[in-house]
Amino acid sequence: MRSPFLAGAVVVITTAALAACGSSSDNGAGKASATGPATSAGPVAGAPADPDGSASEGPQASHSSEPPKTPTDQLTPATGTFTKKQKKYLVDRVPKGMDPAAVLQTGQATCDRLTYLVKVDRDTAVGAVATGEIADAEPAVTHLCTQHKGLVEQASRAYPDGTYEGARLRPGRYRDVAPTKNCGWEITGANGKRLASGSTDDGKRTRITIPEAARAFTSTGCYAWLPEGDNG
């Protein structure tokens, strides 16, 4: 379930990015400005796809693999140079034939989106990373905006809508993020015994506790549950 707030934030970030892109100029340092589209940055950005948009099947399946990457020593912008952090971010992320500055730009756009969301509502930012709405956040944060490392770490312990069992289940206290009016959840123990459940029809945030005895946790329409305290 996509967060309504995040959807609006994407429009804001994208509009600002396009405006900046139209007015910016090369400062000679070779650093790409963070004005790329608010889309996920990844090694397959711009990669060729089948004409009908479908995945290859049968004997041609091997052609759907990722294209070869640009060697590290060839990761240079058209003008200027990349910083060490920028170059580390680009390693193994730029398909051959693609401008590395374009790939860097998507990473910087990811950082801009995180910075914007953190200022407005940090929980929404964490939820966006946990659900994948802001994709490839970890490499961008690792190399380009390290101030958000705590956010990404918290997201790694969150529960987006879905069912979790076994090793994926971590006892502790959690709060939901951007729940819909159809948010519902259930915690079950051994032999499928229901330990706790709940739902909301007002979209208000809720706190729950997943006990040690839990064997499964299911959530729908709640967007994501974030850990509180030292969970996990």
Rounded to an integer, what distance in angstroms lies between the CA atom of residue 229 and that of residue 232? 9
Rounded to an integer, what distance in angstroms lies between the CA atom of residue 56 and that of residue 62? 8
Residue 207 has pLDDT above 80, yes or no: yes
> How do residues 36-83 score in pLDDT, each as one tens digit?
333 333 333 333 334 343 333 433 444 457 778 888 888 888 788 889
Write down the number of H helices and E strands in the chain.
6, 6
Rounded to an integer, what distance in angstroms lies between the CA atom of residue 81 and that of residue 78? 8
> How do residues 85-114 score in pLDDT, each as one tens digit?
999 999 999 998 888 999 999 999 999 999
Q: Which residues pair with 26 in a beta bridge?
A: none
The dihedrals phi and psi of 175, each to the nearest 5 degrees, come to: -125, 145
Tell me, rounded to whole angstroms, the distance of Cα 74 from its chain centroid: 28
Structure tokens at 30: 């070779």
Residue 11 has pLDDT above 50, yes or no: no
pLDDT confidence of 222, banded at 50, 70, 90?
A: very high
